[in-house]
Structure formats: C-alpha cells, structure tokens
Amino acid sequence: MVTAYADMMFAHQGGWDEMLYALVPIVLIFGLLRLANSRAKKLAPPEATTLVEPD
C-alpha cells in the first residue's frame, strides 16, 4: 500500500506541475507587456498638431 501511494505521489508531483500551467502564461504575458511598454516609451512622441481656427 505504501508503494502504491508513493507511485501516485511521484506521478502527480504534489501539484507544482499543475501550478506551472497557470504561472507560465501569466509570466509570459507579463514579460511581453513590459517589453512592449519599454519599447513604446522609447518611441518619439507624436507631433502635436495645432488647429488654426478661421477668423
């Protein structure tokens, strides 16, 4: 009985492997958002357009 439980526990890995299914996409999206924000901050700001109202 002890060996059967040890086999199940080894196959299940105690839950850490299921946690990776949630953490990997979250970390990946977070990293991509940080990369996009840092690249967007390096871009030159758009030129301001002045509206001239007719007299």
Q: What is the pTM of this model?
A: 0.55
Q: Which two tokens stand for residue 21?
A: 């299914």
Whole-angstrom distance, CA of residue 44 vs CA of residue 25: 31
Whole-angstrom distance, CA of residue 14 vs CA of residue 6: 11
For residue 53, give the 3-state DSSP assignment.
coil
pLDDT digits (tens, 9 = 90+) for 45-54: 777 666 667 7
Identity of the residue numbered 35: L
Whole-angstrom distance, CA of residue 3 vs CA of residue 5: 5
pLDDT digits (tens, 9 = 90+) for 1-55: 455 555 555 566 677 878 888 999 999 999 999 999 999 999 877 776 666 677 6
Domain boundaries, the chain: 1-42
Q: Find the largest Cα–Cα distance for the chain.
A: 93
